[in-house]
Structure 1
């Protein structure tokens, strides 16, 4: 009886932390609105987040897991709104359109695959692999500005709220994936925990460094 209760508990906590993680983009986008520009931030975090949420939603449907479906349905809506906000205030709008074109192509190809493949076990396996790959890209997206962080000795190009909540959410989903016995959830969240922990360490390393002028 204890195991089902524990599984139910972490289904709730993982879902809650996942939703909070998605909401962590709100203060980042508020910064765009307040300053009227996206500054040094990259659109990859938001577009990769949108693609990751979309694919995990499809995976949740494939494995019939309610928590995964609910969280990622909310995630798709929020991440899409972040991409739109980023685009409005983007310095290089063509870059956003390029990434969104890739998102549309990948999503359409995935939907076509799911439609034509009639083997449910094979579909779940391939979707799991794809979700794992794309989510690792999402976790690593902030590292695209790593050279800026090291050169300027400043973490202002890194979205701290998103990285912090990614770390906390990854830990929760790692535990839930372990309880479910889902290898893809376990693998992707081990990597997510490690990558986000590394990114958080940069805020400690450079916390007392002066911000260089533009």
Structure 2
């Protein structure tokens, strides 16, 4: 049982790392063009918060047998911090101020959770429950984010905007951590990742239903809501050129 628990944690680390690194495509473009264009930095800042809370929850003095949760989310936090820094360097002043404000909020929330768990709560189930609830709230919110892409697939009857390998990685990542949480009997790990597993499976089902279709002429990529994709509404041509990066950004937030 312990070996299986460890192996699923390792596999979960590998699949989650792939998702964390997927937005490199977007940031290579930002650095090359020396501007963030119409991309949004909000998903990266919020993913940073999710990673920080999950990494904190996995530490031995917070919850037992979850060190692998800390390793991948600690790595994810470092990666997301780099993304946020790049965004702050190249974003226009107004967007830069917005992202910095959200980043300050992220630091504040994490600091409060960490300090309360250390100073006000004793080690054991109380501390683990507090940190687990805090991390689960943001994880569930982010796990629900691919719903916008699934809606687009159904409206267009095409998987053009939902890359197969990223959908597969979402499913494998969610499944790995779901089993990891079950074997470790940790509801704060298996509940949220069970949701991720189900959403990943739903994406794969949609892919096989619509894989032979092209996007219908009546529905354009611009129909995707800006708050959900990390991209605001813009001209048709520019939206189409950015859509692959947008989908990468959307799937990148699906982590432990």
TM-score (norm 2): 0.65
CA RMSD of aligned residues (A): 3.4
Q: How does 1:62-211 map to 2 (within 5 A)?
A: 62-65=62-65, 66-88=67-89, 90=91, 92-120=95-123, 121-143=125-147, 163-201=167-205, 203=207, 207=211, 208-210=213-215
Deviation at 1:77, TM superposition (A): 1.3
Deviation at 1:206, TM superposition (A): 6.0
Structure having the higher Rg: 2
Could you tell me which runs of 5 or more consecutive residues in structure 2 were left unpaired when the two chains were aligned.
Answer: 222-235, 238-256
Structure 1 contact 53–73 (Cα < 8 Å) conserved: yes
Deviation at 1:203, TM superposition (A): 4.9
Moved more, 153-162 or 61-70: 153-162
Deviation at 1:10, TM superposition (A): 3.5
Deviation at 1:152, TM superposition (A): 6.8
Q: Which of 11, 14, 24 in structure 2 is aligned with 1:16?
A: 11
Could you tell me which runs of 5 or more consecutive residues in structure 1 were left unpaired when the two chains were aligned.
Answer: none
Q: Residue 119 of structure 1: SS of its match in structure 2? A: coil
Matched with 2:247 is none
Equivalents in 1 of 2:10, 2:195: separation in Å?
A: 19
Query: Over residues 161-183 of structure 1, what are the superposed CA-to-partner deviations in whole Å (9 max), with x where a residue is unaligned?
Result: 65542321110111111111111
Higher helix share: 1
Change (3 A) 1:113 1:15: same
Q: Residue 121 of structure 2: SS of its match in structure 1? A: coil
Change (3 A) 1:46 1:182: same
Query: Over residues 54-94 of structure 1, what are the superposed CA-to-partner deviations in whole Å (9 max), with x where a residue is unaligned?
Result: 11111111113332222222222122223334445557444
Q: Which of 45, 56, 59 in structure 2 is aligned with 1:58?
A: 56
Query: Over residues 137-196 of structure 1, what are the superposed CA-to-partner deviations in whole Å (9 max), with x where a residue is unaligned?
Result: 222234467777677777677687655423211101111111111111111111111233
Structure 1 contact 22–78 (Cα < 8 Å) conserved: no
Residues matched between the structures, number: 209
Moved more, 175-184 or 24-33: 24-33
Change (3 A) 1:179 1:148: closer
Equivalents in 2 of 1:178, 1:44: separation in Å?
A: 32
TM-score (norm 1): 0.76
